[in-house]
Structure formats: C-alpha cells, structure tokens
Amino acid sequence: MTTNSQLHTRRLAATPRGVGVMCDFFAQRAENASLWDVEGREFIDFAAGIAVLNTGHRHPRLVAAIAAQLQQFTHTAYQIVPYESVVSLAERLNALVPISGPVKTAFFTTGAEALENAVKIARAHTGRAGVITFGGGFHGRTLMALAMTGKVAPYKLGFGPFPADVFHVPFPAASQGVSAADSLVAIAQLFKTDIDPKRVAAIVIEPVQGEGGFNVAPTELMQGLRALCDAHGIVLVADEVQTGFARTGKLFSMQHHGVEPDLITMAKSLAGGMPLSAVSGRAEIMDAPAPGGLGGTYAGNPLAVASALAVLDVIEDEKLCERAVALGDRLVRQLLKAKESNPAIADVRAQGSMVAVELRNAATGEPDAEAVRRVQAHALAQGLLLLSCGMHGNVIRFLYPLTIPDALFDRALAIIDGALAA
C-alpha cells in the first residue's frame, strides 16, 4: 500500500513549494461529504474543494450526466464547432441570474478567467480602464485578478508589477470598525485623489468576502454602489465565484439585497467539481467585445457543461437553498452558544451556509491565527477538515456540502464544539 508519507516525499521532490498544500494526507476516494485517504482513514469534508462541492462529492446525477456526455464527445472547442448544451446552459443561467432585461452568458474555465473577462467586457463597453475593488477581496491568481485581489501575502509576493488603474477601498467589517458608509466615503475620496469616475470601467465586489474572512456586504453598501455606478456610467460586477449556487441560501448572494449588478462572475460550484466558469450580464454590455474577443480553448468544456446542467437540477429538486439556510442556522446557533463562554470567539458571521467564526486573543484583542491553527489541528485529529481565511488568518470558515447527511453534520458539530473548547 502506498502511504501518505511516501506520497509526501514524492510531492516535495516533484512539485514546487509555491503550490501550498494544507493536508499531509492524500485523497483516495470521496462520497457526498466524506473522503478517504490512501491509508483508509475517513474525513468529514468541511472544505468542499474551497466551496466547489455544494452538491457534494460525486453526486449520482452529476456522475450520470458526465458519463452520458463521455459517450458523445469530450472536446471540439466551442468556438470551432459549437454544441447545444452550451446554449441550453446559457439560457438557464440568463433566466436565473438577478439581472432584469435581456441577459447573455459567456463560459470560461476558471474563476480567475471569469474575472479577467468581466474586466475586458466592462472596458470594451465603457471605453475606460479603471477598476475599483476592495481590501481583503480575492479574485484569482492571474495578473489582472491579482491586481484586483486585496491581500498581499501569500498571493502577490514576488509577482509584481501588476496592471495599472486598479484601486482598493476598505470593505465593511464590524470587527475592523469599517461601516458601509466608510466604504462609500472612501470611494468618493478616491474620485477626488486618484481617478476621475469618468475613467472607471468597473467596481468589482464579492457580496460575501471569501478569503477576506466571510465579511458580509451590507445592503446599504450595495445600494450605494448601484447609485454610484448609475451616476457615473460604471459597470457593477458581482464576483459570485464562491457565493453562488445556493451557498448563501439563495442561488446568488446578490438576491439578498434586491440590487442588480450589471455583470456576475461565477465558477466553483457551478459545475460541481468540473472546471467551468461564466460571466452573465446585461446583453448590451456582454455584446461590447468584438467577435473573437472572448473565449478559450477549453471554455465551455462539454463534460463540465453537462455537469453544470445537472447541478442546477439538483439545487432545484433537492431544495438546496432552503437546506443551506437550515444547516447554517444550526451551525450559527451552536457557535453563538459557544461564544457565550469562550472569550476567544470574537465574532460569528453568516449568510445561509457561508459561515465563519473569528478568533482573537482574549487578553489583547489581537487576531489569533495560532488559535485557528490549533482548532484546525484538533478537528483534523478527530476526522474533520476545516479551512482558515481572513486578512490575519484568524477566521475559520465552514464550507460543507449542502447535501451532507444530518447524522454526519451532527458529528461534525460535536467535533467543532470540542475543538473550540480545547
């Protein structure tokens, strides 16, 4: 039997240190919310491939859809020989995204590609270059996406210079003393000190920051951004790569605010583990790039598109939006109860099943990344996989599949309770 230790040694020799790996074990197989390593140990997966598996590992309907497509063809390059499934998926997303009027959708492969293309589309539509994003935001690892990302370590270290005309403003966070009004004032100041609003193509925002610590954007901020964009002819882009597809209790997080973006980027759980991303938006904006200006060799991969169509069916038929709310409420109640007796728990944040707990030193109030590492280690020793996030690494995020069985969820909650207490 190949051991985790043997594979770890081979990994260090064969792959670069820049590809950071959190776990010291290697996956062998997975099912729904559980995975097993090469030595047969079982883990409850509260990482879900970083929010990719809202429908769980290997959902039978996704497996069947991919298998059926395998019998047809695996690749033609949609731009060379198109196929009906891309049109069908675009039609479904056009009807589902919270954007009124005619909508169009373009497909790509990764979340970073979706963000890069959203900027291209906004620039083509406006004839402008500037982009405003938020501190703590994460938009991908390609150069333009890194320029938009509002966190230096580890993402930007050694990789500059980055594309110009990208500006950051603070994101609202109660634990950091930043309000929605503060963020809007910062943009107004930016317009006076750094860039004329008539030179801004897009404002890009995660409705709930992922890597930034699961900070939830207030509706006041979304309304203010919509007003600013309308006043200055700026394209409002909602980065729903991590928040999309039922995670927050609605198909898209923007639906919590009643505010329509102009463009929405999506990836991760769109195709349930298959590589697929998309940009949906107002037809007149989406049509701005000239023919041939958008695309990619693997954009709209037929296996991934088949999986995505099945994902939408599963979310609807299994009522995963409602399930996200129910599971999130249970977890939040437990975390708030733990907070009553645990001074290290500084904050509990949630939108549906996008849940996080922030830890700070009880004596100093300083962010406590070491406490997060201890909680992760304690949970992992009990068979539960947890992820950290936040500007200071002091936030634990919970990204379980929404299809997780109740009994397994209960087991995980008990482990979390013990890990926080320890």
**DSSP characters over 369-418:** HHHHHHHHHHHHHTTEE-EEESTTS-EEEE---TT--HHHHHHHHHHHHH
Domains of the chain: 4-58+319-421 (3.90.1150.10), 63-317 (3.40.640.10)
Instruction: Map tokens 């004032």 to a residue.
Output: 185
Cis amide leading into 161 (omega within 30): yes
Q: Tell me, what's the pLDDT at 162?
A: 96
Distance CA 65, CA 1 (A): 33
d(Cα 241, Cα 220) in Å, to the nearest integer?
22
Candidates 141, 189, 142, 153; CA nearest to 168 is 189
Note the pLDDT of residue 174: 87
pLDDT of residue 1: 78
Identify which of 150, 204, 215, 210 has the alpha carbon closest to the alpha carbon of residue 178.
Answer: 215
How distant is the alpha carbon of residue 18 from its chain centre?
Answer: 21
CA 196-209-280 angle, to 5 degrees, is 70
Q: Which residue has the tokens 């500007």?
A: 391
Q: What pLDDT does residue 266 have?
A: 98
The pLDDT score that the predictor gives to residue 73 is: 98
pLDDT of residue 175: 82
Instruction: Give the separation between CA 420 and CA 396, rounded to whole angstroms.
Output: 11
Residues whose CB is less than 8 angstroms from the CB of residue 408 and which lie 6 or more positions away in sequence, other chains included: 33, 34, 44
Q: Which amino acid would we find at residue 51?
A: A
DSSP bridge partners of 345: 359
Q: What is the pLDDT of residues 15-67, one digit of tens each?
A: 999 999 999 999 999 999 999 999 999 999 999 999 999 999 999 999 999 99
Spatial distance between the Cα atoms of 102 and 180, rounded to a whole number of angstroms: 31
Please report, in angstroms and rounded to a whole number, the separation of the first and last CA atoms in the chain. 34
Indicate the pTM of the whole model.
Answer: 0.96
The identity of residue 158, as a single letter, is: G
What is the per-residue pLDDT for 422?
86
> What residues in the chain have per-residue pLDDT under 70?
none
